Amino acid sequence: MIDEATTHYNSIIDQHSLGAEFLHDTFGECARPKIGWQIDPFGHSREVASLFAQMGFDGYFFGRADYHDLIDRSVKRTREMVWQANPNLDVLDRQSWLFTGILPLYYLSPPSFCFDITCSDQPIMDDKNLHDYNVLEHVETFIGTALAQQKKKWSTKTDDFFPYASTPYVYWTGYYTSRPALKRYERYANNILQVTRQLNGFSQSNLRNSIFDLSEAMGLAQHHDAVSGTSKQHVANDYAQRLS
């Protein structure tokens, strides 16, 4: 999960391109992701939402939002919305719109969510030869729920989810400037990577594999505990060493 406050759009696109290429080469087109999970970054940017939408994502879910905003959205039942993330709507239109949801308990499922061995919900029985066959019952329940929600009008959002405050007077803004040397080093490494790619484009031989390690290290550096500067010192040292 990338950081959304201290990353550059160039590196965000590179990281996702590298990951998408791996998924395609390994599993095929069916592995192309459609939902973005950003459950831990410390605030969220409309620019990242716009990029995700333009990359082909249909949905985007995260866990952290300002506590005032969460209270208000919980009361108004607007924790799910359509994020109209790009002001250039006349150019991108709905390509920059992204269905967005704020998870109820950060990483955890709601208390009523039932999915493991302790689940008491009636299982789906699909053998028509057995007396407890109930597929049609479950299908009717699903369709009924969908029909009940079809007229729902989603709220919209056009700005950032910044700054992030988890509790009163606890604003997560220090990381905008923390570990400035690591932040500068990450930008410097990105400059080298982009120049190397340009030179490779003009060369007679494809040296793409020669810069793969740097591409991978740059992708890792976009993590929300990397370029953000929120990791412990020995971890920050490791990020820097990988870029060197």
Range of the domain at 88: 33-110+156-175
Q: What letter represents residue 81's amino acid?
A: M
pLDDT in the model for residue 241: 96
Residue 99 maps to a domain: yes
Q: Assess contact for 5 and 42: CB atoms under 8 A.
A: yes
**Pairing of the two strands 35-38 and 59-62:** parallel
What pLDDT score does 21 carry?
94
In a domain, 97, yes or no: yes
Query: Which pLDDT belongs to residue 204?
Result: 75
| Residue 165 neighbours by CB distance under 10 Å | 17
Low-confidence ranges of the chain (pLDDT < 70): 89-93, 115-118, 120, 149-150
With respect to residue 74, please indicate whether it lies within any of the assigned structural domains: yes
Residue 188 covered by a domain: no
Calpha distance 217→22 (Å, rounded): 15
Structural domains of the chain, count = 1
Residues 22-77: pLDDT tens digits? 999 999 999 999 999 999 999 999 999 999 998 999 999 999 999 999 999 999 99
Per-residue pLDDT at 89: 58
Label residues 47-77 b or e (16+ Cβ within 10 Å = b): bbbbbbbebebeebebbbbbeebeeebeeee
Task: Give the integer Cα–Cα distance in Å for 100 and 104.
Answer: 13
Residue 129 forms part of a structural domain: no
The DSSP 8-state label assigned to residue 224 in this structure reads: T
| HEC per residue, 47-115 | HHHHHHHHCCCCEEEECCCCHHHHHHHHHHCCCEEEEECCCCHHHHHHHHEEEEEECCECCECCCCCCC
Q: Which of these, 119, 243, 105, lies nearest to 181 by C-alpha position?
A: 243
DSSP letter (8 states) at residue 210? G
> Whole-prediction pTM value?
0.83
Contact 218, 189 (CB under 8 A): yes
Instruction: Name the active-site residue from 3, 14, 25, 40.
Output: 40
Asked, for residue 41, whether it belongs to a domain, the answer is yes
Q: Tell me if residue 40 is catalytic.
A: yes
Residue 168 covered by a domain:
yes
What is residue 110's predicted lDDT score, i.e. its pLDDT?
74
Question: Is 51 within a domain?
Answer: yes
What does 100-156 look like in DSSP terms, one character per residue?
EEE-TBTTBPPTT---STT--SPPP---TTSTT--HHHHHHHHHHHHHHHTT---EE
